[in-house]
Chains A and B, each alone.
Chain A
Amino acid sequence: MSDLAQPSQMRRGVAVSLILLILFLAGWQWGPGLLAIPSYIIPPLSQVFVEFLRMWSVNSLLYHTGITAAEVIVGFALGSLLGACMGYLLGISPIAEVALSPYILALQIAPKVAFAPLFILWMGFSVYPKILVAVLIVFFPVLVNVMSGVRGVDPDMINLARSFKASRAQIFWKIEFPASIPPLLAGLRIGSTLAVVGVVVGELVGGNEGLGFLLAFGEGQANTPMVFVSIIMLTLIGSIAYLVVILVERSVLHYMPKRSLGQV
């Protein structure tokens, strides 16, 4: 969706997109049969839908989806908040950056999902280890983006404010903070999809709640449709989270030229 696209191009694009969707769904429904792929490898669409209805009534699919969604929201919110605070601290204080950057880099390189078993050892089969993995995984992209946003402010801009006798707090609130909003939102966009990854890994590793649990349960039962349903629901949660960030971005960054904003 670019503002450079003409309305006619836009309509044609949407039409092609819908045709692709129909082709995809049709291929899913009849492709496996035509290609003689057994349904335990790729179950046809209708079978997945039947499984969805079964899980809805038998496996309390809504409840598990709710648990996962709540973990994603809490993990995303906490991770973003911590990442942003740390980003501002490191952006403003060169001393803090020099002192902390090696540790932050090390922690960033470490694969965050590998911490999931550790957190489960610490906190048991509750929602907390899942949230913690999400916090950890969301933390870095937000931190890095906020820090570079604060650092990226033109020094001449700071000098201009200084020439008006601006205090350090004024420089932060009137220049650095607003300047960091676009990169912050870009970081949140990345974080919103990563939060789902963090939560689902936590759920896969241990616990008896959430879509990750249903996913692992379906796998154990060799119930391929159940695995598909879980993946679809997880994708849905991620999509909604991403969409919310995009909408926030659109309304907050109303002052920017549209094409520089995130694309759906």
Chain B
Amino acid sequence: MRFAGKAGVVTAIQDVTLAVRDREVVSLIGPSGCGKSTLLNIGAGLNAPTAGAVLVDGERVQGPNDHVAFMLQKDLLLPWRTIAENVMFGLEIKGQARQPSRERAHELLRDFKLAEFANHYPHQLSGGMRQRTALARTVAVNPSVLLLDEPFSAVDAQTRIVLQYDLAQTLKSAGKTALLITHDLLEAIILSDRVLVMSSRPGHIIDEVVIEIPQRDDPFARRRDPRVEGYISRLMDRLQIGHPSQVARAPA
């Protein structure tokens, strides 16, 4: 994928080939600006790649489509809509009938423990609750693939742990496939089946780490697993975090 930048053409990502199996959760980690978000936008069909193709369920992605839904760090809730109406947003855009959409929204809000806030407005909720609403909105359209771009990086550490659990449970019970972009190595390890490491720009995949810890649906349990240490040091190694050269270069 190349972009026209101020100083000529910028190649954001190059020669990236990745396959995510059905119902698999894959995390993507890498330095800032390595093109992770570009990859995700291509996956969602929002940007067309300069060269190459994306296939979902064997179908070539040529624009936004029903198979894929994304969620960002920002909750992107519409302030003039109630929580339930926000969850219904995708269904409404897709032209679904109002009553079934409403029922679906309330059902999801119950699952996400937000039922009592259905008629509240976003500004009345905490950041964590808003992000859970965003997750409900993403799941509401019943996509087969979820693209998650640092979904929990804006919430506080404790809320994040709870949201990670909610996400893991949702992905498992609904049998969703997911591609998760994160900066949090621990988050990548406890939530995914596989972690892909990207290099700096032009981004390409330099390592693939299969997480062989059971219970992908229980990040609490995975957090306590002794094997996590080993995976973290391997990922740090691949990202060259903690190397003397990196420390020396780090800004004061």
**A residues in contact (CB < 8 Å) with B:** 154, 156-157, 159-166, 170, 174-175, 178-179, 181, 255-257
Contact = CB atoms under 8 A, between A and B. Distances in A.
Contact of B65 (A165, A166, A179): A165
A164 B80 contact: no
A163 B46 contact: yes
Interface centre among B68, B76, B94 (most CB of A within 10 A): B76
Interface in B169-191: none
Interface in B34-61: 41, 44-46
Contact of B93 (A154, A161, A181, A257): A161
Given A154-B74, A257-B123, A162 B80 contact: no
A181 B78 CA distance: 13
A192 to B, nearest CB: 23
Given A162-B64, A165-B64, 4 more contacts: A156-B74, A157-B76, A159-B44, A181-B80
Contacts of B152: none
Task: Report, nearest first, the 7 A-B pairs whose CB atoms are least far apart.
Answer: A164-B93, A164-B90, A255-B121, A166-B93, A163-B64, A255-B80, A165-B64
- Secondary structure class of chain B's binding surface, majority of residues: loop
Range for the number of chain B residues in contact with chain A: 20 to 34
Interface of B: 41, 44-46, 63-66, 68-70, 72, 74, 76, 78-81, 89-90, 92-94, 121, 123, 141
Contact of A159 (B46, B66, B93): B46
A47 to B, nearest CB: 52
A175 B78 CA distance: 8
Contact of A165 (B79, B80, B93, B121): B93
27 contacts: A154-B74, A156-B72, A157-B76, A157-B78, A159-B41, A160-B70, A160-B72, A163-B45, A163-B46, A163-B69, A163-B70, A164-B89, A164-B90, A164-B93, A164-B94, A165-B63, A165-B64, A165-B65, A165-B94, A170-B93, A174-B89, A174-B92, A174-B93, A178-B78, A179-B78, A255-B81, A256-B123
Contacts of B76: 154, 156-157, 160
A160 B46 CA distance: 9
A170 B92 CA distance: 10
Most buried by B among A159, A160, A162, A256: A160
Contacts of A157: 76, 78
A152 to B, nearest CB: 13
A174 B76 CA distance: 13
A160 to B, nearest CB: 5
A160 B141 CA distance: 12
A163 to B, nearest CB: 5
A165 to B, nearest CB: 5
Contacts of A165: 63-66, 93-94
B68 A163 contact: yes
A159 B68 CA distance: 13
Given A154-B74, A256-B79, A163 B66 contact: no
Contacts of B78: 157, 174-175, 178-179
A160 B64 CA distance: 10
A179 B74 CA distance: 17
B94 A255 contact: no
Contacts of B41: 159
A35 B27 CA distance: 81
A182 B66 CA distance: 33
